[in-house]
Amino acid sequence: MAGLALVTTVAILAAQGLGTPDPAARRLDALGIALAVLSAVPLAARRQAPATVFAVSAAASLALLRLGYPLDVPLAAVLAAYALAVAYSGAPPARRWAALVAVNAFVPAVALAYASTGIHVWDISTELLGWAAVFAGMWIAGDRHRLRALRLAEAQAYARRVAADAERERHLAAANERTRIARELHDSAGHAINVILVQAGAARLLQQSNPPGAREAIQTIEKVARDTIGDIDRLVRALRTDDGDIPADPGALDELVERHRIGGLTITADLPGPVLPLPRGVAWAAYRILQEALTNAARHGCGEAAVAVRFFDRQVEIDVTNPVRLLDRRVEIDVTNPARPASRAGPATPAGPAGRGGHGITGIRERVALLGGTLEAGLTRGEFRLHAVLPHDGVPA
């Protein structure tokens, strides 16, 4: 910018002004070059010291005009005025008004300089008015540039805050996911320990009277322990990374039911055929709910359980009380098992009449509530029944 102003100023002075040369104008000499340099070179520091740069550029330009040099376009003073407006248009009132007066006082100072040399100011009033408009426009342009820079800075600060909030949300989501995975780890390990406990007791009781049955129970313990080690390894690996993922396979319900059958639980199962893709949270919840219900049936029931899992797509149901009702996509889980008599089962029942019980039922309620579903669990006429409804949008994860 300083080089452009210097080249332009020297070129105007060397050409004896713009348009037809004025014979009375002073020709370019060493003093004119020195004053041109003094007016233009300080522009290199216009951002560091705008007031000083404007004062020096304006003084050098006035000196060129006072000495008779044909400076038809005081470009250096114009650029210095713009830099002063950018720096001081948003300053406190006293400094802002001082800068505004200084910028707009340049043209009156030029008129006084011309008048001191005997030139009639009225004869050049058109040029002076044009210069006054230019300097006023420089102040307005500098003020607009400052406001635009402030808006840009605010937008950048907002973008940084948004990015920081998004990062915090990401870390919070990761922390929530790790908490959920830790709960999965607890459920998986608790289920396995319960199965192992039941099978170990069966093996102890059958080791003398039924050695093959005892060996079968020990094999079940071995299989459950091996599967649990794999589950724990997968869950802990997911806990160690922010982007850990746990595959959800609704088809594993068959394997879960079969595992409890091997463990000695007689199960009547009504499971679906080909399973539609489910969101991961719904699939995990269905698996864990069924797992917890079968574990409770094995520990606190009479060795029998009836399981029904149904997958419903969006449909319209017509009945008498409510002629048309829209049913969303959902998964329904129903597990019923005869309850062990209180005299034999003791106080450790999975749930009371109101459906309140240990951590297992509490965990199921939390899962269902998080998914916006419903849960009914409790004792009714000697049977413990658990009925869960898990709605979903049908979009697989």
In 3D, which of 369, 287, 266, 394 has the Cα closest to residue 333?
287
| Mean pLDDT in order along the chain per 10 residues (397 residues) | 89 80 79 90 90 91 86 88 88 88 87 81 81 88 89 91 87 72 70 77 81 82 75 63 46 77 83 65 80 84 86 57 55 88 45 46 78 86 88 59
Contact yes or no for 307/378 (Cβ under 8 A): no
**C-beta contacts of 197-203 below 8 A and 24+ residues apart:** 198/263, 198/264, 198/298, 198/299, 199/224, 199/263, 199/264, 202/264
The pLDDT of residue 106 is: 87
The pLDDT of residue 326 is: 44
The pLDDT of residue 322 is: 47
Residue 122 is classified by DSSP as G
Strand partners, 338: 383
pTM of structure: 0.43
Cα angle vertex 8, ends 109, 123, to 5°? 40
Question: Which parts of 266-308 fold into alpha helices (H)?
Answer: 280-300
Contact yes or no for 298/265 (Cβ under 8 A): yes
The pLDDT of residue 95 is: 87
